[in-house]
């Protein structure tokens, strides 16, 4: 039995074209981009070609792009880098951010920075007016994600960026989940800093970038050889950077058709799930990523469903990769006002490039039976039955 992978929001397989592009940079072109000989220049050229390619896609200059080891590092560089450059001040973020943002902000709070964590509505949305209301004289940065990794909700980042610009506050967006599906033009979006990574767009893991608009003062987190315009020391991960650029190029090229294809599959899955009684689609009905379906099923534990799906060869998730390690309810769903019970019964199916209609059909063939079995065993359900 072939397994079905519904966890593309956690990570995606490296696509063939990407792997092919990367391979020579492990062996033939193994040089250190900082070396002045031919081997070094080959590697340097590859990194700079990758940077140029990405700069065209994001509509920015090459020296506005810093390669990092992934989404987490880029977020840390953005938020701590700005905080350290300003030395003190107030930062605004919101409650459904990825832990990379939330934990960085919590740590900065301990260092003396002041933080505001904005509430979200029942769909997981932040309103630009909310951001504006909380901007103070000493606000140095606003960090609001482009699209949520658990529920797929797309934030109005263009409008939020406009508010920030009006008040001369820097705006960072964590766009790791958005890169394959949404507009990535930083000029059109009007943003100052943006994080993307390779592992969510069929590129390699352990590589990402931070876009930093020219003229913004930022402190590096890593000190050393001065690579990446002095903002990220350390020998560049050349194969990963080459693969990341290739992945982004392909994602950009295929965006329109892939969004259309996935939206149709998403609709199919959502209507299939509606046949399960006492279940609810989480996130925004329209403002959501085309590959995300997050559902709460009352009276079952998400983890129990996952294990039973896994036995049937179906890989899904309860939400973020981090929240599966602890059995705490998702901070995202709780922030949306969901009860602990409903949050514990949540499942995330994240579709991808390899998802076919027949995969959705197979899921819908087994899921109702699993839910019924678990509900029959569940004390909560018995309580509901008994009033």
Where along the sequence are the contacts to ligand PLP (CB under 6 A)?
A: 70-72, 98, 100, 145, 149, 174, 176-177, 197, 199-200, 208
DSSP code for 153: B
Q: Tell the smallest beta-carbon distance from residue 98 to ligand PLP (Å).
A: 3
Compare residues 15 and 98 and give the one whose CB is closer to ligand PLP: 98
For residues 303 and 308, what is the distance between their CA atoms, to the nearest angstrom?
9
Instruction: Decide if 238 contacts 228 (C-beta within 8 A).
Output: no
Compare residues 89 and 220 and give the one whose CB is closer to ligand PLP: 220
DSSP 2-21: --EE-BTTT--PPPHHHHHH
**How far is residue 9 from each of residues 75, 311, 320, measured CA to CA in Å?**
17, 21, 8
Compare residues 291 and 378 and give the one whose CB is closer to ligand PLP: 291
Q: Tell the smallest beta-carbon distance from residue 169 to ligand PLP (Å).
A: 21
Compare residues 149 and 266 and give the one whose CB is closer to ligand PLP: 149
Which run of H or E residues covers position 174? strand 170-174
Sheet-wide strand order for 292-297: 279-282, 292-297, 346-350
Q: Which residue from 294, 92, 63, 283 is spatially nearest to 173, judged by alpha carbons? A: 92
Encoding tokens for residue 58?
Answer: 């994001």
Coil vs helix vs strand at 350: strand
Please name the residues in contact with 361: beta carbons below 8 A apart, sequence gap of 6 or more: none
Encoding tokens for residue 311?
Answer: 């036995």
Q: Tell the smallest beta-carbon distance from residue 346 to ligand PLP (Å).
A: 17
Q: Tell the smallest beta-carbon distance from residue 42 to ligand PLP (Å).
A: 27
Q: Which residues of 84-100 are buried (b: 16+ CB within 10 A; e: fewer)?
A: bebeebbbbbbbbbbbb
Q: Tell the smallest beta-carbon distance from residue 70 to ligand PLP (Å).
A: 3
Q: Give the number of other Cβ atoms within 10 Å of residue 44's Cβ.
A: 18
How many residues are there in the chain? 387
Q: Tell the smallest beta-carbon distance from residue 123 to ligand PLP (Å).
A: 17
For the question of residue 60 being annotated catalytic, the response is: no
Q: List the alpha helices (DSSP H) in the chain.
A: 16-22, 38-58, 71-86, 99-110, 128-134, 157-166, 186-189, 238-273, 302-311, 331-335, 340-344, 357-377, 379-385
Compare residues 78 and 131 and give the one whose CB is closer to ligand PLP: 78
Compare residues 12 and 227 and give the one whose CB is closer to ligand PLP: 12
Q: Tell the smallest beta-carbon distance from residue 44 to ligand PLP (Å).
A: 24
Q: Using CB atoms, what's the residue nearest to ligand PLP?
A: 71
Compare residues 174 and 236 and give the one whose CB is closer to ligand PLP: 174
The catalytic residue positions are 322
């Amino acid at each position: 039995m072939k397994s079905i992978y519904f966890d593309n929001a956690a990570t995606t397989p490296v696509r063939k074209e990407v792997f092919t592009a990367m391979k020579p940079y492990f062996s033939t072109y193994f040089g250190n981009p900082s070396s002045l000989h031919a081997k070094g220049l080959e590697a340097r050229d590859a990194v700079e070609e990758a940077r140029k390619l990405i700069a065209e896609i994001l509509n920015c200059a090459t020296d506005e792009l810093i390669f990092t080891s992934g989404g987490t590092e880029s977020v840390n560089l953005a938020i701590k880098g700005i905080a350290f450059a300003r030395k003190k001040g107030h930062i605004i973020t919101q409650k459904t951010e990825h832990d990379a943002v939330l934990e960085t902000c919590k740590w900065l709070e301990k260092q003396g920075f002041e933080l505001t964590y904005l509430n979200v509505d029942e769909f997981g949305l932040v309103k630009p007016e909310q951001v504006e209301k909380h901007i103070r004289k000493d606000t140095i940065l606003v960090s609001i994600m482009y699209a949520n990794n658990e529920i797929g909700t797309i934030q109005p980042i263009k409008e939020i960026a406009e508010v920030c610009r009006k008040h001369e506050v820097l705006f960072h967006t964590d766009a790791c989940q958005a890169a394959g599906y949404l507009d990535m033009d930083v000029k059109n979006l009007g943003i100052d800093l943006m994080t993307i990574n390779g592992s969510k767009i069929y590129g390699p893991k352990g590589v990402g970038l931070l876009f930093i608009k020219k003229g913004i003062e930022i402190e590096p987190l890593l000190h050393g050889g001065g690579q990446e315009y002095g903002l990220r020391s350390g020998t560049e991960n050349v194969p990963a950077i080459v693969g990341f650029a290739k992945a982004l190029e392909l994602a950009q090229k295929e965006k329109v058709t892939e969004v259309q294809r996935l939206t149709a599959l998403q609709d199919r899955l959502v209507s299939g799930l509606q046949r399960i009684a006492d279940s609810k689609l989480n996130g925004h009905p329209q403002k959501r990523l085309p590959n995300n379906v997050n559902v709460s099923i009352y009276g079952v534990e998400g983890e129990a469903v996952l294990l039973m799906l896994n036995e049937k060869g179906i890989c899904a998730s309860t939400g973020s990769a981090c929240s599966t390690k602890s059995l705490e309810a998702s901070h995202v769903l709780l922030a949306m006002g969901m009860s602990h019970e409903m949050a514990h019964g949540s499942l995330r199916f994240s579709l991808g490039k390899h998802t076919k209609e027949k995969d959705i059909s197979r899921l819908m063939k087994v899921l109702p039976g699993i839910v019924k079995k678990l509900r029959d065993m569940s004390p909560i359900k018995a309580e509901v039955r008994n009033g």
